[in-house]
Structure 1
Amino acid sequence: MKNVLVIGGTRFFGKDLVEFLLDKGVQVTLLTRGQTEDSFGDRVQRLTADRTDVHALKQAIGSRTFDVVYDNICYQAREAIEACSVFSGHVGRYIVTSSLSVYEFGEQALLEEQVDTFHHPINSNPEAKLDYAEGKRQVEAVFFQQADFPVAAVRFPIVLGPHDYTKRLHFHVGRVQRSEVIGLSNLSARMNFIHEQEAAEFLYWLGLSSELTGPVNARSDGEITLLELITLIEQETGCKAIVRSQTEESEQSPFGVPSSWIMDTSKAYRAGFRFRELSEWLPVLISRIAAEERGDR
């Protein structure tokens, strides 16, 4: 039986990952701060520590070893540096969640090598004020340059699903239903997404069924323009969207990118993973969210 540690597995696709691992017969240990209840009961083992406290993290891990560690909540170089130290000799394979945000916007599908974090300068200054994108580049750079164990970093696009606590898709569906303005500056921009369950399945595959290392792009097959997304919401809700290019900040779409932002997943495909079609699940999810917004669920 494989022995896996999940750091941060009580929210969104982290929960899906834990459930998927358990369904596959994997022994799962959760490391959290112990502040969020979960539904796993005695099916998982539990460690309690704040991952930003290296001494608490080291004490929690102790002499334990894991076949795979999934790290869903690493955002800074310092956290990655500490993980490289704490898990040295304690892990066979390390999977860290990264992001499409490491890339700049562009019309062409982005390849992993276009952001080379194997040679990216590391800023280990804990006082440095870095945005989310640079924080993720730093995390990748540290793991790829300093870890003495195999590491893969999953570059996810925006993850969608019924349990998305940020409610980014809910924002659009609800505002269309209520005839409220949505601010989008470029309706021609193309986007990729991935469903929370597919994200979990990919993480499982990457950690336990593949030997891939380095950065790996992951998203559902297919892309959609923001105009097509709004049209799909109109079709599923039966309501007409009000879209403007300039609005108040509170009305601006969380998908409001200035140009296309899409990834190439050839690396994962060549290694054997098959992604779902975006068109298979996005209309279903929109319909479900529309029902929730109406109070039907």
Structure 2
Amino acid sequence: MKKILILGGTRFFGKRLAELLLEEGHQVTIATRGNTADGFGDRVGRIQLDRENKESLAKAVEGGREWDTVFDNICYSPQAAQDACDVFQGKVKRYILTSTLSVYDPSSRLHQEKDVNPYIYPVSMGGRSDFSYGEAKRLAEAVLFQNADFPVAAVRFPIVLGEDDYTGRLEFHIDHVKQGRPIGIPNLQAKMCFISSSEAASFLSWMKNQRVEGPINARSKGEVKLSELMGWIEKETGKKAIISKQVSDKDKSPFGVPDSWLMDTNKAERLGYQFQPLQAWLPALIRQLAAK
């Protein structure tokens, strides 16, 4: 049994991760603002904190607490990463940061982890609002890998999808097609990669038992053109999508990238992880959401 702390474990793949760890028999503590009910009852410990406030983080983990693994799903700035380096010094055996495909710029190439090297990336300090999402994550990785005295891995996920996705990114497209509203997609030929919320949780759980450090890409096997994705939605809704390059901001697709956005998962696969094929779950998820 491991003592595990999840920073952000009350919804989406963080909640799924907590459930998996509990099923494996681990002692799980979840740390959040306390604004979202988690449904775990007395099966988990709870810490209430403001992740962007170092004093709050330090107070929450004081008292000689130590963890075998810390999963950090809510680190969005270099300052938050530095706070973790300071607060968790000598208190954790392994630290796993949830990072993102957004550390890479969209392009036709298949990005490898070495394309953004956090061990040498120049550090600029600041909070969440001081940087774009992708830059903030690049800097958070850089701070942790360059300054932490504990082993760190950064899992770079693409867009995570599932029926429990509170952001509603896939539903945006389904609802727009159902309602006959235009969708702003600049490049229908762009290819995208995704991962399901259940596999994101499974991969994170698997990572706690690996000795690997550094960044690691994780996504479902295969990719899909946005034109093909919209075709799946058209099939399940029975309606034709209205695609336009000129729309209002509220109608711009969350998947509206100018070029393909893909990454290589050879590193994870060499370690023995077998990713689920994209075709095995995404069309079924679209069908499920379209039926609502």
Query: By the TM > 0.5 criterion, same fold?
Result: yes
Deviation at 1:195, TM superposition (A): 0.3
Equivalent residues of 2:76, 2:128 under 8 A apart: no
Quick one: which amino acid aligns to residue 38 of structure 1? Answer: D
- Distance, in Å, in 2 between the alignment partners of 1:35 and 1:168 is 22
Mapped pair 1:253 → 2:262: no
Deviation at 1:127, TM superposition (A): 9.2
- Distance, in Å, in 2 between the alignment partners of 1:280 and 1:127 is 35
CA deviations on 1:184-211 (whole Å, 9 max, x unpaired) are 110000000000000000000012x211
Paired position in structure 2 for 1:167: 168
- Distance, in Å, in 2 between the alignment partners of 1:183 and 1:82 is 39
Paired position in structure 1 for 2:76: 75
Q: 1:138 to 1:44 in 2, by over 3 A?
A: same
TM-score by length of 1: 0.95
Equivalent residues of 2:17, 2:204 under 8 A apart: yes
Quick one: which amino acid aligns to residue 229 of structure 1? Answer: L
Paired position in structure 1 for 2:104: 103
- Distance, in Å, in 2 between the alignment partners of 1:44 and 1:70 is 15
Quick one: which amino acid aligns to residue 265 of structure 2? Answer: T
For residue 111 of structure 2, give the secondary structure of its aligned residue in structure 1.
Answer: coil
Mapped pair 1:179 → 2:180: yes
Quick one: which amino acid aligns to residue 93 of structure 1? Answer: R
- Distance, in Å, in 1 between the alignment partners of 2:128 and 2:198 is 36
Equivalent residues of 2:187, 2:258 under 8 A apart: yes
Paired position in structure 1 for 2:198: 197
CA deviations on 1:157-200 (whole Å, 9 max, x unpaired) are 00000011110100011111222211111000000000000000
- Sequence identity percentage: 52
- Distance, in Å, in 2 between the alignment partners of 1:128 and 1:187 is 31
For residue 268 of structure 1, give the secondary structure of its aligned residue in structure 2.
Answer: helix
For residue 134 of structure 1, give the secondary structure of its aligned residue in structure 2.
Answer: helix
Paired position in structure 2 for 1:280: 280
Quick one: which amino acid aligns to residue 205 of structure 1? Answer: W
- Distance, in Å, in 1 between the alignment partners of 2:249 and 2:126 is 32
Quick one: which amino acid aligns to residue 83 of structure 1? Answer: A
Mapped pair 1:188 → 2:207: no
CA deviations on 1:236-262 (whole Å, 9 max, x unpaired) are 222211112222222111100000000
Deviation at 1:72, TM superposition (A): 0.3
State the Cα RMSD in Å: 1.2
1:6-85 maps to which residues of 2 (within 5 A)?
A: 6-62=6-62, 63-85=64-86
Quick one: which amino acid aligns to residue 57 of structure 2? Answer: L
- Distance, in Å, in 1 between the alignment partners of 2:260 and 2:159 is 13
Deviation at 1:53, TM superposition (A): 2.1
For residue 260 of structure 2, give the secondary structure of its aligned residue in structure 1.
Answer: coil
* Residue ranges of structure 1 left out of the alignment (5+ in a row): 293-297
Deviation at 1:216, TM superposition (A): 0.5
